[in-house]
């Protein structure tokens, strides 16, 4: 079998992301989540289910101490190649988030980002290829298991940011709340103002009381059909 062709994506911060067709590639949801996430200076940050490292590399700042965890050895190896290519310090680990205790100590992170599998296994949304299906469907980790892992690695007061499908928002919020991850910021993503949202961005704080801000919707395109100013800023257009 021929090796998958490798391509290089230049991220908004100038870092390079190595990709192949074998694994899930950088998509709009990860780009928008990276912009939405707001880790404080010098924070310890985990990219949970990091895949090839698109999120971790997108949020990279020299002051952050970033780690990534993924169950797919091949994806993590590609991530490590990107880390070496960019000459940055990120700890990329192979591990199962369902056994998160084997990878990280309890409460060891200030912030976490996660682009979890959106669809239930067997829903018909699985992508071709086992690796890409793992990224899209929850046969390897349900949203409840993702929330449990996030709660374990965050200390009280720590935060996490996720992107998910609006039609499964209740499942996400319910899972987060059960793990003491209280939603504090929420933003819907729309292709245009007259379209239903295609994604929802959520930031939570562990152990916090009620009080969530629903931010103005993110619009990819304006009324004239051209990319919005915010979309152009994020993509550097």
The DSSP secondary structure of 92-159, one letter per residue, reads EEE--GGGGGGTS-TT-EEEEEE----B-TTSS-PPSSHHHHHHHBTTS--HHHHHHHHHHHEEEEEE
Give the mean pLDDT of 192-205: 96
User: Which pLDDT belongs to residue 110?
Assistant: 98
What angle, 0 to 180 degrees and rounded to 10, lies between the N-to-C axes of helices 143-153 and 169-178? 40
User: Which pLDDT belongs to residue 107?
Assistant: 97
d(CA 209, CA 22) in angstroms, rounded, equals 42
**Contact in structure between 151 and 161 (CB atoms under 8 Å):** no
Judge whether residue 166 has pLDDT over 80: yes
User: Which pLDDT belongs to residue 120?
Assistant: 60
The 10s digit of each residue's pLDDT in 116-141 is 987 664 445 454 554 544 444 445 68
Q: For all residues of the chain together, what is the average pLDDT?
A: 90
User: Which pLDDT belongs to residue 193?
Assistant: 94
d(CA 226, CA 151) in angstroms, rounded, equals 40
The 10s digit of each residue's pLDDT in 80-95 is 999 999 999 999 999 9
d(CA 46, CA 110) in angstroms, rounded, equals 8
57 exposed, middle or buried (CB, 10 Å; 0-12, 13-18, 19+)? buried
């Amino acid at each position: 079998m021929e090796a998958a062709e490798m391509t290089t994506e230049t991220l908004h911060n100038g870092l390079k992301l190595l990709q192949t067709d074998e694994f899930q590639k950088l998509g709009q949801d990860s780009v928008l989540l990276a912009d939405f996430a707001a880790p404080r200076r010098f924070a310890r940050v985990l990219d949970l289910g990091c895949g090839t490292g698109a999120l971790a590399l997108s949020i990279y700042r020299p002051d952050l101490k970033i780690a990534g965890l993924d169950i797919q050895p091949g994806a993590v190896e590609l991530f490590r190649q990107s880390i070496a290519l960019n000459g940055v310090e990120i700890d990329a680990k192979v591990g199962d988030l369902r056994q998160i205790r084997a990878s990280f100590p309890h409460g060891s992170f200030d912030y976490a980002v996660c682009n979890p599998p959106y669809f239930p296994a067997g829903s018909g949304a699985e992508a071709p290829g086992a690796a890409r299906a793992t990224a899209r469907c929850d046969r390897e980790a349900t949203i409840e298991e993702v929330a449990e892992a996030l709660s374990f690695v965050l200390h009280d007061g720590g935060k996490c940011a996720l992107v998910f499908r609006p039609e499964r928002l209740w499942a996400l919020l319910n899972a987060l709340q059960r793990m003491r991850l209280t939603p504090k910021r929420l933003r819907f993503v729309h292709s245009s103002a007259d379209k239903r949202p295609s994604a929802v961005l959520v930031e939570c704080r562990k152990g916090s009381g009620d009080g969530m801000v629903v931010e103005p919707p993110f619009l990819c395109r304006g009324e004239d059909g051209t990319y919005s100013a915010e979309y152009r800023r994020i993509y550097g257009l």
